[in-house]
Structure 1
Amino acid sequence: MQDLPPLNYLRSFEAAARMLSFTEAARELHLTQAAVSGHIRALEQYIGGPLFVRHPRSLTLTSLGNAYLPGVQQALQQVQQATHAILRRRGVERVVISCPVSLVDHWLADLVARFGVQHPGAAVTIHGRVWVDEPPEIADIILTNVYKEALDRASLPLWQDQMVAVCAPGYLTQIGGIDAPEDLLRARLIHSLGRTEVWLQVFQRLGLPVATADPGAEGACQANTFGSVIALAEAGHGVAVVPGVFARAGLDAGRLAAPLGQVGPCPWVCTISDSSLLTSDAARALHQFIRTEATAHPPVLDG
């Protein structure tokens, strides 16, 4: 970058070349004619050749000037665009949240909308994840599900949910009801890929033979997100076991039934990343908003 001439030399040259007048260039740039003329002479000395042919009452570009002008105009346009982009962003702080996609659908999207009402100057980007955690540099705030024994200082607990076995009301009729845990043995089980151990844990807790809870068992079905699992359950495909946060909307709307109620604590805790490294006011405000809302109104099923 050491071979760059001063920016004011380039601006004077571009304006004079566009209007073929030092006087008009000076008027546009709010400079004196002598200043523009001096910039052009200095630029010509810098690059080692004349840029203009100076006539008594007009200017024309030399071949060197004609060759130089397009590159200068393009460079000045790029500088202008970059500057305008920065100016447009003044007052708008973008916050990036990384979150499991099912939690986005069933909780975070509504929360972010309410945050936006209170903080209209903050722009939020959500990266929905399936299983894989984002590298820390991808997001300002990371929400995740962590097994209790794996909690560390970098993750702050938000809530621990209860698991609930759910299905469509029509599916209950189809299989003759689920009135006791052993009735699950007659049901088609819907598993969440990556969380296939959950049905095994539920069967152990209920005293049922765990072999029938294997995701590879005959008739078992799998989906890669809790949102997909819920959709299959609502469609009458079988029985799913999910954290209460994902079942609430379906239960409230009557699309789902929970004939056995809660079937045990969720084996993982919803967490939020530590806020100590956040650098923007908007990120800190959203981090605090999420923690406050999760504490005051945890999105879990009531007993």
Structure 2
Amino acid sequence: MMSLPPVLWLQAFESAARTLSFTEAGRELGVTQSAISQRIRLLEDRVGQPLFARYPRSLALTPAGQAWLPSVQEAFRRLAEGTAEVFGPSPDAPITLRATPAMQQTWLAPRLLRFQQVRPDITLRLVSAIWADDFGVEGADLEVRYGRGEWDDVVAHGLGEERLLPVCSAAMARTLKRPADLAGQTLLHAAGFDAGWPRWLAEAGVAGLENRCRAMICDTHVTTLAMAGYGGGVALSHRRLLEASRDLVAPFALDMGTDEAFWLVRPANRQMREPAAALWEWLANDR
């Protein structure tokens, strides 16, 4: 098997092949045009075939160069991803926090504002995730996930017990004196919750009442909260999100527990940068 050429030669080839210019490749890599030319010639000698067709005023890839370029680019891409996964991004890169939109707009927002007042030197980057598959340790320093905490390759810190209860606008709440008053109202359902309206209604002593209500199913929890705030129905929400909302009230005191909860999560195989560690401690201890 042929030994791999030096990385400097491969970098020269990838840059020159992408730009079709030894001069541009030199600017990109911080060396002279002649240095790029020399590295390409050494590389061609190593592989035993010309990689470029050289013309007086232009440059083109040979069939061998065209066939090899995707493999070289894929190798550099995987090397960059592996480096970031193990060692994290560059020290001065923003801290990336991934969470659902509802969590960002309610519980997280005031805490991140206070954090930035204490640590104005840290730049934060918020990334939204809606479905479970949107989450993953790649590309994020920290995450706030909702579930049972049964994830591989992460360190998970529970943010406390979750309780679900109905929420709605203040005007609608004035018409709801007891759970039976929900009959005929629109119940807003958020896809993905293990515990939902049928269970809450059963615990409230009005099992089956959902069959006498209108229903709207939303693919995000933040949408159900927005609809409830506009008076479009009653949503089931987490008590911690209600406490952070300025538009919603709870018409009933009854709440119910759930096996799922919010978790602060970070990759287990990556050492946290100091700014990420500071944010972790802030969110883990600021309830």
**TM-score, reference length from structure 1:** 0.59
1:258 to 250, 254, 262: 250
**1:117-132 to 2 correspondences below 5 Å:** 117-132=117-132
Aligned to 2:92: 92
Q: Which has the larger radius of gyration?
A: 1
Contact 1:226–1:246 (CA under 8 A) maintained in structure 2: no
Aligned residue type for 1:205: E
Counterpart of 2:214 in 1: which secondary structure? coil
Contact 1:102–1:227 (CA under 8 A) maintained in structure 2: yes
Give the Cα–Cα distance (whole angstroms) in 2 for the partners of residues 256 and 193 of structure 1: 20
Aligned to 1:271: 263
**1:283-302 to 2 correspondences below 5 Å:** 283-293=276-286, 298=287
Using the TM superposition, give the Cα deviation of residue 90 of structure 1 relative to its aligned residue in structure 2, in angstroms: 8.5
Give the Cα–Cα distance (whole angstroms) in 2 for the partners of residues 109 and 167 of structure 1: 21
Aligned residue type for 2:249: A
Give the Cα–Cα distance (whole angstroms) in 1 for the partners of residues 276 and 206 of structure 2: 47
Aligned residue type for 2:284: R
Contact 2:183–2:213 (CA under 8 A) maintained in structure 1: no
Aligned to 1:33: none
Using the TM superposition, give the Cα deviation of residue 245 of structure 1 relative to its aligned residue in structure 2, in angstroms: 2.4
Contact 2:147–2:263 (CA under 8 A) maintained in structure 1: yes
- CA spacing shift, 1:285–1:184, aligned 2, 3 Å: same
- CA spacing shift, 1:94–1:227, aligned 2, 3 Å: same
Gaps of 5+ in 1: 5-13, 15-39, 48-65, 69-88, 299-303
Q: Deviations over 1:134-158 (max 9, x none)?
A: 221121111101137x477732211
RMSD of equivalent CA atoms: 3.8
2:192 to 191, 194, 207: 194
Matched, 1:221 2:222: no
Aligned to 1:167: 168
Counterpart of 2:250 in 1: which secondary structure? coil
Using the TM superposition, give the Cα deviation of residue 184 of structure 1 relative to its aligned residue in structure 2, in angstroms: 2.3
Give the Cα–Cα distance (whole angstroms) in 2 for the partners of residues 194 and 165 of structure 1: 17
Using the TM superposition, give the Cα deviation of residue 179 of structure 1 relative to its aligned residue in structure 2, in angstroms: 2.1
Give the Cα–Cα distance (whole angstroms) in 2 for the partners of residues 194 and 169 of structure 1: 26
Give the Cα–Cα distance (whole angstroms) in 2 for the partners of residues 109 and 169 of structure 1: 22
- CA spacing shift, 1:186–1:178, aligned 2, 3 Å: same
Counting aligned pairs with the same residue, the percent is 18
Matched, 1:236 2:231: yes
Give the Cα–Cα distance (whole angstroms) in 1 for the partners of residues 142 and 244 of structure 2: 25
Give the Cα–Cα distance (whole angstroms) in 1 for the partners of residues 97 and 260 of structure 2: 20
Give the Cα–Cα distance (whole angstroms) in 2 for the partners of residues 147 and 204 of structure 1: 23
1:184 to 182, 185, 189: 182
Using the TM superposition, give the Cα deviation of residue 105 of structure 1 relative to its aligned residue in structure 2, in angstroms: 0.7
**1:98-177 to 2 correspondences below 5 Å:** 98-133=98-133, 134-147=135-148, 150=150, 154-172=155-173, 177=175
Using the TM superposition, give the Cα deviation of residue 220 of structure 1 relative to its aligned residue in structure 2, in angstroms: 0.7
Counterpart of 1:273 in 2: which secondary structure? strand
Give the Cα–Cα distance (whole angstroms) in 2 for the partners of residues 243 and 274 of structure 1: 23
Contact 2:184–2:214 (CA under 8 A) maintained in structure 1: no
Aligned residue type for 2:108: L
Using the TM superposition, give the Cα deviation of residue 172 of structure 1 relative to its aligned residue in structure 2, in angstroms: 4.1
Give the Cα–Cα distance (whole angstroms) in 2 for the partners of residues 286 and 275 of structure 1: 14
Contact 2:196–2:236 (CA under 8 A) maintained in structure 1: yes
Contact 2:95–2:125 (CA under 8 A) maintained in structure 1: yes
Using the TM superposition, give the Cα deviation of residue 128 of structure 1 relative to its aligned residue in structure 2, in angstroms: 1.0
